[in-house]
Amino acid sequence: MPRTLDDLSWPVLTERLLIRRVTPEDAAAIWRYRQLADVYDWITTAPADQAAFDAYFADPHRQAVTLAVEQNGLVIGDLYLNVEDAWAQTEAKDAARGVQAEIGWAFDPAYGGQGLATEAVEAMLSICFEGLRLRRVLAECFADNAPSWRLMERVGMRRELHAVAEALHRSGRWLDGYGYALLAEEWKA
């Protein structure tokens, strides 16, 4: 049986950050930066107002896969970490259960340019590969979201996919998408 985030010791401390499981009380702090245009434009789900975000954030699954990133007691970002099964043929399906994770993030732009997002995502990769002992981590973004794919490259992820006009943006435009991944043996190297 794969380990879950519940099996790990929290919080996780880095040089400048504290990473912890979210609580319902984090909704207002996370909404503060998720409603900013630089963040809102790229996140998968962007409720229109604080009340809608509170309802979205209250979902037990959402809280089970979301981590808060704090600096000096302030929430400056959130991380998405969803452990999932890898694709497998029917006969090998049991061995592919809970062996990989999809990851994502959103950070307050006011804290950009300081390496904090890189530090947080590197810590999340450590949680994936060392804490949860996963074999593969993947992340996706719109190709136009350069800060996100550059972060993926900074932490050592490799671009595996460039899909042309595959994702419908809330603006109504069809945008290219990028897929990145990292294997446990690559992380260790």
pLDDT in tens, 107-142: 999 999 999 999 999 999 999 999 999 999 999 999
Percent of all residues in the chain with a pLDDT value above 90, rounded to a whole number: 96
pLDDT in tens, 40-74: 999 999 999 999 999 999 999 999 999 999 999 99
C-alpha angle with apex 101: 145 to 34, nearest 5 degrees? 40
How far, in Å, CA of 62 to CA of 56, rounded? 8
Check residue 4 and give its pLDDT.
86
The CATH number that domain 5-134 falls under is: 3.40.630.30
> For the whole model, what pTM was predicted?
0.95
